[in-house]
């Protein structure tokens, strides 16, 4: 059996490490022009290969630094991250873009895209399976989305993205009000009538002219009745009937959720 010198092992290990270094993946874009990198990135984006588009756009951002093409690369990277489900990364990319380029002609788009990232995050990937709408989910992202859209419509009223942003703002406000009503109904159905009153009152006070107001008033009627507060019950019932003369809640109770108001997208 051959014997190895004790001095040979370190040499073999060094050779192995050097061999491993030499096999490092080459940068295929090393000799590419910025136009070619952008073209390849666009092809990946159009093909839905967002994970492949992102590194190409990062390369482009670095090589075209200080040019409008670098700004375009940043925005398209944020879009690829958004479409690839990397919400936090997309928001970070957009925040960086807006910090570095406050006078960019694409600033309105950056605000719009940031609003979309948070807006769609709230809808949830599987909401269509569970029949769960935005109002039943965590509301932080909805509020972040609203703030982005509000800044857009305030600062750029003539932007091409403003009309859609306004629609989404209305949707978010309705959703936030409906969230309060969901919580109020949750408390009511568990006999926590004082808590139900508090949340229903919040929905009415904080959000005006929204669809959720009708159900909030109904929850108040039922909760006051359960608490034996007959005067408040009757007063609220009159307000409900005056505001919603066609209401079916008093006769049929809580609505089924088969055809919710929020199915816009």
Report pLDDT digits (tens) over 22-81.
445 677 888 899 999 999 999 999 999 999 999 999 999 999 898 999 999 999 999 999
Spatial separation of the C-alpha atoms in residues 212 and 188, rounded to whole Å: 16
In a domain, residue 130? The reply is no
pTM for the model stands at 0.75
Nearest to residue 183, comparing CAs of 212, 207, 211, 151? 212
In a domain, residue 205? The reply is yes
Domain final residue, candidates 46, 62, 84: 84
Spatial separation of the C-alpha atoms in residues 111 and 35, rounded to whole Å: 26
Domain final residue, candidates 50, 84, 118: 84
Spatial separation of the C-alpha atoms in residues 237 and 243, rounded to whole Å: 10
At 1 the three-state DSSP class reads coil
Structure tokens at 154: 């305030």
In a domain, residue 20? The reply is no
Q: How confident is the model at residue 214 (pLDDT cuts 50, 70, 90)?
A: very high
Q: How confident is the model at residue 15 (pLDDT cuts 50, 70, 90)?
A: very low
8 A C-beta contact, residue 220 and residue 198: no
Range of the domain at 242: 179-252
Residues 181-200 have pLDDT tens digits of 999 999 999 999 999 999 99
Structure tokens at 224: 């006051």
In a domain, residue 158? The reply is no
Domain final residue, candidates 51, 84, 117: 84
Structure tokens at 113: 């895209």
The number of domains in the chain is: 2
In a domain, residue 236? The reply is yes
In a domain, residue 104? The reply is no
Q: What is the pLDDT of residue 24?
A: 55
Chain Cα centroid distance, residue 117: 4
More confident residue, 174 or 139: 174
Q: What is the pLDDT of residue 259?
A: 44
Q: Of how many residues is the chain composed?
A: 265
User: 261: buried, middle or exposed (CB in 10 Å: 19+, 13-18, 0-12)?
Assistant: middle
In a domain, residue 260? The reply is no
8 A C-beta contact, residue 167 and residue 114: no
CATH number (domain holding residue 205): 1.25.40
In a domain, residue 161? The reply is no
């Amino acid at each position: 059996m051959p014997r190895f010198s004790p001095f040979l092992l370190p040499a073999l290990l060094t050779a192995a490490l050097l061999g491993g270094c030499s096999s490092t993946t080459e940068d295929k874009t090393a000799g590419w022009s910025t136009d070619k990198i952008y073209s390849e990135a666009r092809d990946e984006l159009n093909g839905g290969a967002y994970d492949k588009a992102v590194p190409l756009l990062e390369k482009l951002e670095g090589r075209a630094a200080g040019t409008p093409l670098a700004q375009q690369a940043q925005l398209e990277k944020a879009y690829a991250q958004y479409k690839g489900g990397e919400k936090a990364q997309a928001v970070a990319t957009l925040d960086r873009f807006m910090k570095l380029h406050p006078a960019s002609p694409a600033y309105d788009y950056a605000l719009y895209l940031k609003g979309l990232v948070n807006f769609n995050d709230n809808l949830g990937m599987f909401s269509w399976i569970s029949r769960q709408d935005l109002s039943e989910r965590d509301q932080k992202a909805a509020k972040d989305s609203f703030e982005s859209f509000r800044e857009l419509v305030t600062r750029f009223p003539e932007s091409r993205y403003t009309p859609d942003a306004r629609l989404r703002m209305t949707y978010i406000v309705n959703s936030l009000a409906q969230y309060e009503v969901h919580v109020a109904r949750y408390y009511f159905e568990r006999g926590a009538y004082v808590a139900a009153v508090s949340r229903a009152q919040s929905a009415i006070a904080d959000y005006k002219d929204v669809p959720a107001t009708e159900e909030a008033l109904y929850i108040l009627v039922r909760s006051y009745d359960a608490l034996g507060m007959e005067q408040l019950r009757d007063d609220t019932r009159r307000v409900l009937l005056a505001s919603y003369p066609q209401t079916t809640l008093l006769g049929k109770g809580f609505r089924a959720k088969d055809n919710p108001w929020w199915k816009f997208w």
